[in-house]
Amino acid sequence: MKKIISLTINDQSHEIAVEPNLTLADMLRYELALTGTKKGCDTGDCGACTVIMDGNAVNSCLVLAAQANGSVIETIEGLSTDQGLHPLQEAFVEKGAIQCGFCSPGVIMSAKNMLDKNPNPSEEEIREGISGNLCRCTGYQKIFEAIESQSS
Amino acid sequence: MKDFDIISTRAHRIDTPDKATGQAVFTDDISRPGQLYGALLQSPHAHAKIISIDTTKAKALPGVKSVITHEQAGHIKYGVSPARYDETVFAIDKVRYIGDEIAAVAAVTLEIALKACTLIEVEYELLPAVFTVEDAMKEGAPQLHENSPGNLCAEVHQEFGDVAAALKKCDIIKTSTMKNKRQDGAFIEMQGCVAEFDNRGVLTLVSSTQVPHYVQRTVAMVLEMDVGKIRVKKPYVGAGFGIKAAANPMELACCILARETKKPVKMNFTRDQVFMYGRARHQFTHTITTGAMLDGTLMAIKHECCLDGGAYTSFGIATVYYTGSLLGGPYKIANMSYDGYRVYNNKPTCGAQRGHGAVIARALFEQQVDMIAEEIGMDPMELRIKNMMNAGDTTCNDLNMSSFGMSECIEAVREGSDWDKKKGNMPNGKGIGMACGFFVSGAGYPIYRSDTFHGTVIVKLTEDGGTALVYTASAEIGQGSDTAFAMIAAEALGIPLDHIRLASGDTDMGVDLGAYSSRQTLMTGHATKNAADHAKAQVLEVLAEQLNVPKEELDIKNGFIEFSGDTPDFSALRTRYIKEHRGWTDNPDSEKLTFKEASRVAFLERGSIVGTGKYKPHNLGGKFKGAAVGTSPAYGCSAQVAEVTVDMETGQVTIDSITDAHDCGKAINMTSVEGQMEGSVSMGIGEAMHEEVIFNDKGQVLNADLAEYKIVTSMDMPRVKTIVVESDEPNGPYGAKEVGEGAIMPTIPAILNAVYNAAGVRLNELPLTPERVFHAIQDYKERMAK
């Protein structure tokens, strides 16, 4: 039995009927075509599906769409504007922090959430801030550099 | 060295803005109108006869559009190496591991497809199973394949020089063993694909693959179709590391389901299916004996290895050869023997992974080099430099090091890590160690025997002359190859990088063997340069005719025409260009003639300006059996220093830092080279410290997820100091060679040598869990007490 939920995604309000077992990740990807949010495991281990929900980074594969009723969601698609890439996205490009790019949307959302809460993180705080996001390509070096370049 | 305008810069990668914004399209981001969803039925048993398969109930489930088994898929055998094809799309009369594919379903939803799989009734007769090399080789052990007695998949016996005679003369002989654990690629994007036939019978397969070309050929062979009727396209791929370097059964099943249903079909592996499919690094058990003289001269290597292969061959025949052949360098060693055995058993199949075949042999051998250095009281770096090959040298097994900055790499890490000050002066519980390694810049021969070009590239200039389109069938899987080829094309044409548009990963664009064996920068890079040179020559020919100047006096640089003699009057040509663009407000008014004007005029005279390029290596290697494996037009090399802390009470090892120097020839993109080095080190640390695919006694993977299979996280990764050492590789485009795999070779032994330096113990088994290190320390203390 579908349930109608309403939520705000990237400053746009949505009303959508969802199955009770539909995850937020699947709703974003397959119902709303917001495919920037990636799925690397579906069990909350890899962090590729990270979005910001009511101010906190979450694994959207572990959140039911129905649980997001009334929430405010930010996805990777909401970061860039008419002015171009978000400075954090620019930093990832500039520093070479992206290789295959599959983890990048999740890493960037985690990093943004961390910087929103703590604009001047220490190296240890940066490491912790993205510790839920696995990257197999980069060894994280250039990701650290990109995030460090955006701390104030 | 020559001056370059584009090459060797830190150009931003052309794919990363789209990847940073989520716009980059990966396989599962694609949805086709009316698409069906496919699912696989896989064996729950490690070894069993199939008595019967009944699909009646599955077919009757509403929403199911097709159920296929070996009856629909056929019995054509495939695999990686044609001489060793031992797989069929679906099991016919027997399953050989938990996960062996039996059937597939296409349905209107994934849920229905999965449900239908549970309704397929398979009657099995269980067979005894074997899960280790030792058990599989025992007399009377259950046999996996009819024509492989003793479960021996492959054996290799090679000797160069006279090992026994050389060892007799040696002052020092070291023998030790080493075992790693089966790895998983653990790329973040799971394999997936979408297959679709059009109404003229043309199949398009979009897949998360490293090798569109080999997938195309395998699909053609298994589905009995013309290659020209199959298009394999690779969108962005969430990495592969070797595991995605061959056609997989899901891709084949998906194509067959699309054929049966006449609908697009989409399939994905779940994460546990990625583990069940396997095809990552083997478990190797090495025994190596190394002999040396008192002055530190390395004399001989005797090398034996058993590879735990799993149920099928996959890359295994290449792996077992690579394991031996890549121990021949980077030192001048005249005598080397190798006995390698790859053994089947009832676990998922192992294949190729970053540093194919060679990583654990290197991990053991580089420790023995340190043991010898310690015994004769020589600095490990000095001993290595004393024995090091130089550019132009050839190993005893005929691998030619046409450029080789290995000694320079050692000097770079010596300085970069402050080695001279630290070695011998580390505080208690802290250690420093180093190691070297090298790897091919592309396999010298294709996987199937052929005279094929390894890469073809097309460069087409747009009719306005402003942009060069580069078409290549090569595979960008995250390593930055698209950007490298765009940079090479821009450099060769003499135009800015943003005047290049590049499309890749599509078999319609030509032949390219794909992303494996660190081949693309050198091989596709050559073909790209070749195509760009060809296009440029055509433009300059027309320009020479039009301006009546010798062609040799013309060149293109930064998007402008350069005249080495007097600059002729080109106003007529410019007027002609401007007349064609009445109303345009951005027509050229520069002092210099632009590339845009020149190539527009070339188009007006000759039609489309298309440059074609191609590459295949010259004949490489010796004449002995297996000589082809390990040959390459060039070899990259790497030296690393690891610093570690060992908690002597708990056995916990912490890696404090890694200093890594790599000779990649000429770096096409400095940032990308560093990225490959850092990524290689990270994968090496994972294998050294945590990674292990664990099985229960039924052959089931127990940690088939990214929580319990532990790759390096942001919390584990030490800071890596990367030092790019450039050499000028004569066989590389602009002097470039590999970086993606050579840089993993020294990581594990450097860590092991550092652990020895810290704790006095040599570990002969990976990963370095606290328990394993603790026991080694306890044993060491007991030995000391006696």
Residues B693-711 pLDDT 10s: 999 999 999 999 999 999 9
Residue contact B186–A136, C-beta within 8 A: yes
- For chain A, helix, strand, coil in percent to 5 are 40, 20, 45
CA-nearest of B698, B697, B722, B695 to B709 is B695
Residue B137: pLDDT above 90?
A: yes
Average pLDDT, chain B: 97
Residues of B in contact with A79 (CB under 8 A): 21
Residues B291-342 pLDDT 10s: 999 999 999 999 999 999 999 999 999 999 999 999 989 999 999 999 999 9
**The predicted structure's pLDDT at residue B727:** 96
Q: Kindly state the average pLDDT of the residues B581-603.
A: 95
Residue contact A101–B674, C-beta within 8 A: no
Residue B192, classed as helix, strand or coil, is strand
Minimal Cα–Cα distance from A108 to chain B, Å? 8
Residue B472 pLDDT class (50, 70, 90 cuts):
very high
CA-to-CA dists, residue B660 to A99, A131, B22, B56, angstroms: 19, 24, 32, 59
Residues B523-536 pLDDT 10s: 999 999 999 999 99
Of the candidates B12, B23, B477, the beta carbon closest to that of A100 is on B477
Give the C-alpha separation, B393 to B390, whole Å: 6
**The predicted structure's pLDDT at residue B465:** 86
Instruction: Give phi and psi for B127, each to the nearest 5.
Output: -115, 150
Give the C-alpha separation, A149 to B707, whole Å: 30
Residues of A in contact with B505 (CB under 8 A): none
CA-to-CA dists, residue B68 to B52, B109, B466, B729, B774, angstroms: 14, 17, 51, 51, 52
Residue contact A98–B28, C-beta within 8 A: no
Residues B607-639 pLDDT 10s: 999 999 999 999 998 899 999 999 999 999 999
CA-nearest of A74, A41, A70 to A56 is A74
**The predicted structure's pLDDT at residue B477:** 98
Residues of A in contact with B680 (CB under 8 A): 139
Of the candidates A39, A89, A103, the beta carbon closest to that of B21 is on A89
**The predicted structure's pLDDT at residue B2:** 63
Question: Pairing relation of β-strands B36-42 and B101-107?
Answer: antiparallel
Residue B1: pLDDT above 80?
A: no
Residues in chain A with pLDDT values less than 50: none
Q: Which residues contact A54 (CB under 8 A, 6 or more apart)?
A: A71, A72
Residues 17-76 of A with CB under 8 A from B: 29-30, 34-43, 45-46, 48, 75-76
Residue contact B25–A35, C-beta within 8 A: yes
Q: Kindly state the average pLDDT of the residues B278-298.
A: 98
Cα B732-B736-B741 angle, rounded to 5 deg: 110
Size of interface A-B (CB pairs under 8 A): 174
**The predicted structure's pLDDT at residue B208:** 98
CA-nearest of B224, B266, B222, B270 to B246 is B222
Token pair, residue B656, equals 């404090």
ipTM greater than 0.90, yes or no? yes
Q: Say what the pTM is.
A: 0.98
Residues B364-374 pLDDT 10s: 999 999 999 99
Residues of A in contact with B194 (CB under 8 A): none
Residues B753-769 pLDDT 10s: 999 999 999 999 999 99
Number of residues that this document lists for chain A: 152
Residue B247 pLDDT class (50, 70, 90 cuts):
very high
* Chain B residue closest in CA terms to A99: B478
Q: Mutation target for B interface from A141, A147, A149: give the one with most B CBs within 10 A.
A: A141
Residue contact B16–A101, C-beta within 8 A: yes
Residue B3 pLDDT class (50, 70, 90 cuts):
confident
**The predicted structure's pLDDT at residue B622:** 87
**The predicted structure's pLDDT at residue A34:** 98
Minimal Cα–Cα distance from A92 to chain B, Å? 7
Q: Report yes or no: A122 at the B interface, CB cutoff 8 Å.
A: no
Minimal Cα–Cα distance from A69 to chain B, Å? 24
Residue contact A141–B479, C-beta within 8 A: no
* Chain A residue closest in CA terms to B20: A89
* Chain B residue closest in CA terms to A39: B189
Give the C-alpha separation, A40 to A59, whole Å: 11
**The predicted structure's pLDDT at residue B619:** 92
Residue B433, classed as helix, strand or coil, is strand
Residues of B in contact with A126 (CB under 8 A): 714
CA-nearest of A76, A11, A26 to B29 is A26
Cα B191-B194-B200 angle, rounded to 5 deg: 150
Residue B301, beta-bridge partner list = B290, B336
Residue contact A102–B715, C-beta within 8 A: no
Contact of B173 with B291, CB cutoff 8 Å: yes
Residue B516: pLDDT above 90?
A: yes
Residue B466: pLDDT above 90?
A: no
Q: Mutation target for A interface from B19, B208, B689: give the one with most A CBs within 10 A.
A: B19
Q: Kindly state the average pLDDT of the residues B486-500.
A: 98
Residues B37-69 pLDDT 10s: 999 999 999 999 999 999 999 999 999 999 999
Residues B417-459 pLDDT 10s: 999 999 999 999 999 999 999 999 999 999 999 999 999 999 9
Q: Mutation target for A interface from B714, B716, B717: give the one with most A CBs within 10 A.
A: B714
Of the candidates B16, B29, B241, the beta carbon closest to that of A98 is on B16
Of the candidates A37, A76, A135, the beta carbon closest to that of B21 is on A76
